[in-house]
Chain A
Amino acid sequence: MAKLKDIAKACKSKNAGPFELTLDIMFETAETFEKVRSTGIICPELIARLYHVPVTSVVFTEYAPAFAYKATIERRIPSGAIGDTDVYGAQQHAPLLDVEIPFESELDASPVDSHDEITL
């Protein structure tokens, strides 16, 4: 098992407009991305569970050109509204970091492969 924080290049959150939050999980290499993708762990249901939102409201995209996943959800409170804690939405990523991926550890140190061309 490996945690996302140990194998991902980035796990981040940010506003997508004032009412939505978008989460990006990015990997360094196509190989790592494909390994993670083959486990099926990262899916709309996972995002729904971690962020307490209905799964039908998760806009979820696998984005192979950037070796990345993107999930967009409703913000808990609109940006800057009364009670908001994160105007830019930049610190809502932490629940992703500890997601466990069944993954052989030797892949953690897999070399960066350079891609001359990517086709979706």
Chain B
Amino acid sequence: MKNGVVRMISASGILGYGFPESSLKAGLERKPHMIGVDGGSSDPGPYYLGSGKTFTNRLAIKRDMSLLLRGAMANKIPMMIGTCGGAGGEPHLQACAEILHEIAREHGLHFKLALIHAEQKKSWLKDKLRAGRIKPLGAAAPLTESVIDRSERIVGMMGPEPHRAALEAGAQVILAGRGTDPAPWAALAMHHGMPPAQSWFAGKMLECACNAALPKKHDCLMATVAPDYVETEPLNPELRCTPLSVAVQALHENASPIIHKEPGGVLDTSACTIAAHTERSVRVSGMQWHPQPYTIKLEGAEKVGYSAITFAGTRDPGLIGQLETFMQSIRESVATKVAALQVSPEEYQLVLRLYGQNGVMGDWEPIENPTSHEIGILAEAVAKTQDIANAVISVTRVTLLHTDFPGRMCKEGNMAFPFSPSDIERGALYEFSLRHVVEPEDPLVMFPIEYESV
């Protein structure tokens, strides 16, 4: 640690979103103590956690990871990636590890690798549930064993402790499963002796990289952590951090801009002073860390059925003028025809989204009688099997096209279908199934670390 500060880079918002190579080069010239990047988010929805697929593209992940790995090796500093592969489950972690090995082979790189696993054993979770160590968050109901059983995959969101343990064991590259976004940077700063408040705050600033800068871009951000302040600076000379841009980052995707709940404590920024340090960098001081009982947030996804959709538009003013009754007649007619296929109402749901009406906001739409010359109808069938979903959407398509209504002029068909085939199989549908925290025995027990000499 030079001059009692720790310098850390965040390469981009998410691994695979890209960053200018020149920004990374400029960052490495500043002799940072690590390069990190966040690999995931729950934002793209439950599909990725449920299916085990990554939501960033393999080629894009490889490009980013290759630059970071080579930069880290050349400078003998750790490369740390949190929430690998988007959702941070076992298949996501393995997908990233496989890319890492490929890069290492191609460039002849050798290092000590730590893989930190975040997927949870159902038997362990049930033990914790029976012991009363799993609590609901927000409006969630208490967890049940059947929810655990039904979940396709459950991950814990690790804190910085597993990363710290890997650093202490001498790992040069850390690929981690699901974690709280600031975890890699908070860990590195605390590993070098920085206090929790400043370490966590730096992680919070770095997790979305240049989201904390102006103009917002997928680009590299540097944070300098001292025992009593954190400075942030974008590594692209075209960008700058201002007190306002840094304050705005605190608003991003958080429930509160001043109280950030994390494993083992709360980061409190209510007494922060945010000041311009140079024209392009900002110094923040006064952050506080209040220790709390140690909990780990759980995320899970369960398969709730199979989906098929069809999309159509209507341009008929007569139909649009009686849209509500028309759609009601569609629902009734589809129910009758589907019953004739020996499919019971419990086996499927028909979801109709009406664009031009309330397709975006549903029941929250404040405009009661919208006027539009055309309406887009996205019909979705969700069913126990793909075959049933396909059958229901097929019936729905025909019914939308040919159902009669009072004053009908468009007797050849009510709908414009843009595609042939018009019906689209969407496969398995997942929902987030957990909104709970668990109280583990210690911060490491849920996150086994596997070391490997690459």
Binding site for B on A (CB under 8 A): 14-20, 22, 24, 26, 50-52, 57, 59, 61, 63, 65-68, 70, 72, 74, 76-88, 91-92, 94-95, 115-120
Contact = CB atoms under 8 A, between A and B. Distances in A.
Nearest to A66: B247
B316 interface: no
Contacts, number: 145
Nearest to B249: A66
Nearest to A51: B364
Nearest to B140: A19
B255 A59 contact: yes
B364 A70 contact: no
B74 interface: no
Interface string B42-55: 11111100000000
A22 B431 contact: no
Interface in B431-454: 431-432, 435
B258 interface: yes
Contacts of B255: 16-17, 20, 22, 59, 72
B305 to A, nearest CB: 7
A63 B45 contact: no
Given A80-B47, A80-B432, A22 B254 contact: yes
A86 B360 contact: yes
A116 B44 CA distance: 37
B46 A18 contact: yes
Interface residues of B, number: 49
Given A63-B247, A82-B349, A117-B274, 5 more contacts: A61-B258, A66-B244, A76-B363, A79-B46, A92-B364
A115 B243 contact: yes
A96 to B, nearest CB: 10
A116 B430 CA distance: 47
Given A61-B257, A66-B244, A120 B46 contact: no
Nearest to A89: B43
Contacts of B131: none
B421 interface: no
22 contacts: A15-B42, A15-B43, A18-B42, A19-B140, A19-B432, A22-B254, A24-B251, A26-B251, A51-B364, A59-B256, A63-B250, A66-B247, A66-B248, A70-B256, A80-B47, A80-B432, A82-B382, A83-B351, A83-B362, A88-B43, A91-B360, A119-B273
B139 interface: yes
B275 interface: yes
A56 B323 CA distance: 36
A26 B257 contact: no
A24 to B, nearest CB: 5
Contacts of B359: 85
Given A20-B255, A63-B257, A78 B432 contact: yes
Interface in B271-287: 271-276
Nearest to B274: A118
B412 interface: no
